[in-house]
Structure 1
Amino acid sequence: MRPVIFDFFRSVTLAAALLAGAPGAQAEPAHGIAMYGDPALPPDFVSLPYINPDAPKGGRIVFGEAGGFDSLNPFVLKGTAPWGMRGQIYESLMGRSWDEPFTLYGLLAESVETGPDRDWVAFTLRPEARFSDGTPVSVDDVLWSFETLGTEGHPRYHGAWKKVARAEATGPRTVRFTFNTADRELPLILGLRPVLQKAQWAGRDFDAGGLEPPIGTGPYMPGDFEAGRYLTLERNPDYWGRDLPFNRGQNNFDEIRYDFFGDGDVVFEAFRAGQIDVFRETSAAKWETAYDFPAVRDGRIVKSVIPHQRPSGIRGLVMNTRRPIFADWRVRDAMLHAFNFEFINATLTGGAEPRIASYFSNSILGMRDGPAEGRVRDLLAPFSDQLLPGALEGYGLPASDGRASNRKNLRKAFARLQEAGWTVDDKGALRDAGGAPFTFDILLRQGATETQQIVDIFAEQLTRLGITVKITAVDSAQYAQRTDGYEFDMTFYRRGLTLSPGNEQYLYWGAEGVTKPGTGNLMGMDSAAAEAMIDAILTAETREGFIAATRALDRVLTTGRYVIPIWYSPDSRLAHAARLHYPETIPIYGDWIGFLPDIWWTEDTK
Structure 2
Amino acid sequence: MYGEPALGPDFKALPYANPDAPKGGRIVTGEVGSFDSLNPHIRKGRVPWQLRFIAYESLMGRSYDEPFALYGLLAESIETGPNREWVEFTLRPEARFSDGSPVTVEDVLWSYETLGTIGHPRYHGLWDKVETAEQTGDRSVRFTFNVEDRELALIIGMRPIMKKAQWEGKDFADSGLDEVPIGTAPYVIGDFEAGRFVSMKRNPDYWGNDLPFRRGTNNLDEVRYEFYADENAMFEAFKAGVMNSNRETSAAKWEGQYDFPAMNDGKMVKSEIPHQRPTGIVGYVMNTRNPLFADWRVRSALIHAFNFEFINATLNGGELPRITSYFSNSVLGMSQGPAEGRVKDLLEPFADELLPGALEGYAPPASDGKEANRGNIRKALALLEEAGWSVGSDGVLRNAEGKDFSFKVLLKQGDTARQQTIDIYLEALKRIGIFAEVETVDNAQYNERTQDYSFDMTYYRRGMSLSPGNEQYLYWGADGVSKPGTRNWMGVNSPAAEAMINAMLNAPDQTDFIAATRALDRILTSGRYVIPIWYDPVSRIAHDAGLKYPEHLPIYGDWLGFQPDVWWFEE
TM-score scaled by structure 1? 0.93
- Matched with 1:13 is none
Q: Deviations over 1:520-545 (max 9, x none)?
A: 11101111111110000100011110
- Matched with 2:103 is 137
1:70 CA drift (Å) = 0.3
- Matched with 2:113 is 147
Aligned ranges 1:140-219 → 2 under 5 Å = 140-211=106-177, 212-219=179-186
- Matched with 2:498 is 531
Q: For residues 188 and 402 of structure 2, what CA distance do their matches in structure 1 show? A: 60
Q: Deviations over 1:95-125 (max 9, x none)?
A: 1100001211111000111112111100000
Q: For residues 550 and 209 of structure 1, what CA distance do their matches in structure 2 show? A: 38
Amino acid at match of 2:291: P
Residues 40, 47 of structure 2: 8 Å contact kept: yes
Amino acid at match of 1:339: F
- Matched with 1:3 is none
Partner of 2:371, secondary structure, is: coil
Matched, 1:503 2:501: no
Q: For residues 511 and 547 of structure 2, what CA distance do their matches in structure 1 show? A: 41
Q: Deviations over 1:108-162 (max 9, x none)?
A: 0001111121111000000010111111111111011011101111111011111
What root-mean-square deviation, in Å, do the aligned CA atoms of Structure 1 and Structure 2 show? 0.9
Q: For residues 255 and 579 of structure 1, what CA distance do their matches in structure 2 show? A: 14
Residues 321, 523 of structure 1: 8 Å contact kept: yes
Partner of 2:436, secondary structure, is: strand
- Matched with 2:558 is 591
Residues 98, 594 of structure 1: 8 Å contact kept: no
Q: For residues 530 and 392 of structure 2, what CA distance do their matches in structure 1 show? A: 28
Q: For residues 473 and 105 of structure 2, what CA distance do their matches in structure 1 show? A: 28
Residues 409, 457 of structure 2: 8 Å contact kept: yes
- Matched with 2:73 is 107
Equivalent residue in structure 1 for 2:448, among 467, 481, 494: 481
- Matched with 1:282 is 249
1:210 CA drift (Å) = 1.3
Q: For residues 559 and 60 of structure 2, what CA distance do their matches in structure 1 show? A: 18
1:209 CA drift (Å) = 2.6
1:80 CA drift (Å) = 1.1
Once superposed, which parts of structure 1, at least 4 consecutive aligned residues long, lie more than 2 Å away? none
Q: For residues 210 and 294 of structure 1, what CA distance do their matches in structure 2 show? A: 40
Partner of 1:177, secondary structure, is: strand
Q: Deviations over 1:379-416 (max 9, x none)?
A: 11111101000101111111111111101110000000
Q: For residues 246 and 368 of structure 1, what CA distance do their matches in structure 2 show? A: 37
- Matched with 1:352 is 319
Amino acid at match of 1:85: L
* Percent of aligned positions that are identical: 68
Partner of 1:439, secondary structure, is: coil
Residues 242, 248 of structure 1: 8 Å contact kept: yes
1:83 CA drift (Å) = 2.2
Equivalent residue in structure 1 for 2:389, among 408, 414, 422: 422
Matched, 1:467 2:467: no
Partner of 1:171, secondary structure, is: coil
Partner of 2:563, secondary structure, is: coil
Q: Deviations over 1:294-325 (max 9, x none)?
A: 11111111000000000000000100001111
Number of aligned pairs?
570
Residues 119, 182 of structure 1: 8 Å contact kept: yes
Residues 282, 460 of structure 2: 8 Å contact kept: yes
Q: Deviations over 1:535-578 (max 9, x none)?
A: 00100011110000000000000000000000111100000011
TM-score scaled by structure 2? 0.99
Aligned ranges 1:372-383 → 2 under 5 Å = 372-383=339-350
Matched, 1:550 2:535: no
- Which stretches in structure 2 are left out of the alignment for 5+ residues? none
- Matched with 1:28 is none
Residues 111, 125 of structure 1: 8 Å contact kept: yes
- Matched with 1:325 is 292
Q: Deviations over 1:485-505 (max 9, x none)?
A: 111100111100000100100
Aligned ranges 1:300-311 → 2 under 5 Å = 300-311=267-278
Aligned ranges 1:217-366 → 2 under 5 Å = 217-366=184-333
1:448 CA drift (Å) = 1.9
1:77 CA drift (Å) = 0.5
Aligned ranges 1:60-99 → 2 under 5 Å = 60-99=26-65
Aligned ranges 1:446-465 → 2 under 5 Å = 446-465=413-432
Q: For residues 446 and 288 of structure 1, what CA distance do their matches in structure 2 show? A: 25
1:436 CA drift (Å) = 0.7
Q: For residues 416 and 441 of structure 1, what CA distance do their matches in structure 2 show? A: 21
Residues 342, 515 of structure 2: 8 Å contact kept: yes
1:253 CA drift (Å) = 1.1
Q: Deviations over 1:154-174 (max 9, x none)?
A: 111011111111111111001
Q: Deviations over 1:345-403 (max 9, x none)?
A: 11111111110010000000000011111111111111110100010111111111111
Matched, 1:406 2:355: no
Residues 230, 416 of structure 2: 8 Å contact kept: no
